[in-house]
Structure 1
Amino acid sequence: MRIAEVSKKFDISQDTLRYYERIGLIPSVNRNESGIRDYSEDDCRWVEFVKCMRGAGLQIEVLNEYLDLFQKGDSTIEARKELLIEQRNLLAEKMEEIKATVERLDNKIDRYEQGLMVKEKLLRRTQN
């Protein structure tokens, strides 16, 4: 699959895909005889994984560390698992923070809506 197709499939710019490859966030993509990137299914799975993890806020350094461990083989399975557990825990904490913020915003919005309803009632009374 060419870079334009991968870009469209995952809604990632071609520049971002090249950047991810250049910094080692995704393994080097094979090239055809003309030197054009030819993404395999494995390459696409890496792109999808990185997009998901970056979208959730994982840092590039963490993903680079994970890829480095992955490329070292099965002897790093435990280290990879620990890295993922640590990131999962950080995301769970972040979710709780976001949940609390959403609740706070909901309360504030409710207060504004209640205030507007009171103003509308007063306005109607004065107009009658």
Structure 2
Amino acid sequence: MTYTVGQMAKMLGLAGSTLRYYDKEGLLPFVERSSGGIRMFREKDYEWLQIIECLKKAGMSIKDIKKYIVLLQQGDSTIQERLELFQHQRTVLLEQMASLQQTLNTLDYKCWYYETALKAGTTDVLQNMPIEDIPEQFQEVRQNLTHVPMPTSA
């Protein structure tokens, strides 16, 4: 069975323009075209498009996705390079996740802070609160927020 750009885009939850952009950027060398030049997606193309979307969500650039496609087309001699590309992106994603977790922890702390202030009717109660009176899950965040790091010498 074949699918049009619109049908495949709907299956993926993407805009048709996204698939046309991917094609223009060389990310869809496997997509067949009709004699009239219309893109014809097959069921096997769905998995490939899911991989492209995964890589995009992981923060991989179009340039690096293209590099992956070129390596893929070169065959088994590039397995190591492909593995390294994925391992690198995995590391990048883990670093982003750690940063996002830190951001979420800070937001959670500030929610607790203002919920506590709201109950007390003032933020004064929190200004000089000893660290041990702050819930344990927020103590590290509070220390990070109030600790002024010393400049590092070059």
Q: Give the structure 1 partner of residue 82 of structure 2.
A: 80
- Percentage of identical aligned residues: 37
Aligned length in residues? 120
Residue 47 (1) aligns with residue 49 (2) = yes
Moved more, 80-89 or 33-42: 33-42
Q: Distance in 1 between matches of 2:19 and 2:89?
A: 23
1:35 Cα deviation (Å)? 2.7
Q: Give the structure 2 partner of residue 24 of structure 1.
A: 26
1:117 Cα deviation (Å)? 1.2
SS of the equivalent of 1:38 reads: strand
Structure with more of its chain in strand, by fraction: 2
Tell me, yes or no, if the aligned pair for 2:31 and 2:45 is still in contact at 8 Å: yes
Structure with more of its chain in helix, by fraction: 1
Q: TM-score, normalised by structure 2?
A: 0.73
One-letter amino acid of the counterpart of residue 16, structure 1: T
Q: Distance in 2 between matches of 1:28 and 1:22?
A: 13
Unaligned runs of 5+ in 2: 123-154
Q: Give the structure 2 partner of residue 67 of structure 1.
A: 69
1:25 Cα deviation (Å)? 2.0
1:28 Cα deviation (Å)? 4.3
Q: Give the structure 2 partner of residue 123 of structure 1.
A: none
Deviations 1:37-58 (A, max 9, x none): 1101232212111112212222
Q: Which runs of 4+ in 1 moved over 6 A?
A: none
Q: Please give the root-mean-square deviation of Cα atoms over the aligned residues, in Å.
A: 1.5
SS of the equivalent of 1:39 reads: strand
Deviations 1:36-85 (A, max 9, x none): 21101232212111112212222111111111100111110111001111
Deviations 1:76-128 (A, max 9, x none): 011100111111011111111111110011001110111111129xxxxxxxx
Structure 1's 9 and 48: CA in aligned 2 closer, same or farther, altered over 3 A?
same
Aligned match for 2:39, one of 37, 40, 43? 37
Q: Which has the higher contact order (CA 8 A, sep 6+)?
A: 1
